A and B are shown apart, each in its own frame.
Chain A
Amino acid sequence: TQLLEQSPQFLSIQEGENLTVYCNSSSVFSSLQWYRQEPGEGPVLLVTVVTGGEVKKLKRLTFQFGDARKDSSLHITAAQPGDTGLYLCAGANSGGSNYKLTFGKGTLLTVNP
C-alpha cells in the first residue's frame, strides 16, 4: 500500500508570510498532483508534476517534484487570504489502466488578513 505523508496538517499564518507544504513517500509515483479545496466545493487541480526534479510555478505558488519522484513540495510566497483552503497532494501510478490516486491527509491553511 502506497502512503503519502503530508505536513503540516494545519497552518495558520499572517498575510504576506511565506509557507511550504511537504508530501513525502517511500514509494515512487509516475506523477503527483496538487489540489486546493475551498469549503463547499470539490478539490480543484492546481498542477501536475511528472519529471523528477521538475519545478512548476503558478503565480505565487511553486511546486517541486523530488529527483526520485517520491516527494514533492508546495511553496507559497507572500500568502494572501484568498489562498486559504485545504491543500491536498495526490500521487498517481498511471501505468496501464490504473488511474487511482493516493492522497495525503491534507494541509488546512488559514491566511489571516
Chain B
Amino acid sequence: SAVISQKPSRDICQRGTSLTIQCQVDSQVTMMFWYRQQPGQSLTLIATANQGSEATYESGFVIDKFPISRPNLTFSTLTVSNMSPEDSSIYLCSAAGGGGGEQFFGPGTRLTVL
C-alpha cells in the first residue's frame, strides 16, 4: 500500500481566486487520480494525472478549470481555478500501481468557496 498526504487539509477561499492542492505519495506509483466528493456521497473522478504528459480529464471537467501537474512518480497538484461556491467540495487524490486496480487515497482537502 501507499501512504498519501495532501496539503492543505482545508481552506476557505473567495470566489474568483484559485487554489492549488498538493498530493505526495511515499513511494513511486504508476497512476495518480483526482476526485471530487460531496460529504456523505460517492466520488466523482476529475482526471487521471499522467507523469510527463497532459492529464486525462473525465466528461464535464476541463483543463482550464482544473489544471493538473505531475512532474514525477510521487507528486501531483490540482488547481481549482476561478472558483465559485459550486466548487465547494472535498478534493481527494489517489494512487495506484498494483495489478489489482486497488487505489489508495489521501485524507482529502475540504474546500469552501464564499
Binding site for B on A (CB under 8 A): 30-31, 33, 35, 39-45, 48, 50, 86, 88, 90, 92-94, 97, 99-101, 103-106, 108
Contacts and interface: CB of A to CB of B under 8 A. Distances in A.
Interface residues of B, number: 26
Interface string B95-114: 01001111111111010000
B1 interface: yes
Contacts of A92: 100-102
22 contacts: A31-B102, A33-B102, A33-B103, A40-B110, A42-B105, A42-B107, A43-B92, A45-B104, A88-B43, A92-B100, A92-B101, A94-B100, A94-B101, A97-B30, A99-B31, A99-B96, A100-B33, A101-B101, A103-B43, A104-B42, A106-B41, A108-B40
Interface of B: 1, 4, 30-31, 33, 39-43, 45, 48, 92, 94, 96, 99-108, 110
B102 A48 contact: yes
A66 to B, nearest CB: 17
Closest 5 CB pairs of A and B: A92-B101, A42-B105, A94-B101, A99-B96, A106-B42
B90 to A, nearest CB: 9
Contact of A99 (B1, B43, B101, B110): B101
A93 B101 contact: yes
B42 A103 contact: yes
Nearest to A106: B42
A80 B104 CA distance: 25
Contacts of A44: 105
Contacts of A108: 40
A9 to B, nearest CB: 10
Contacts of A100: 33, 45, 48
Contacts of A48: 100-102
Nearest to B4: A42
A59 B94 CA distance: 26
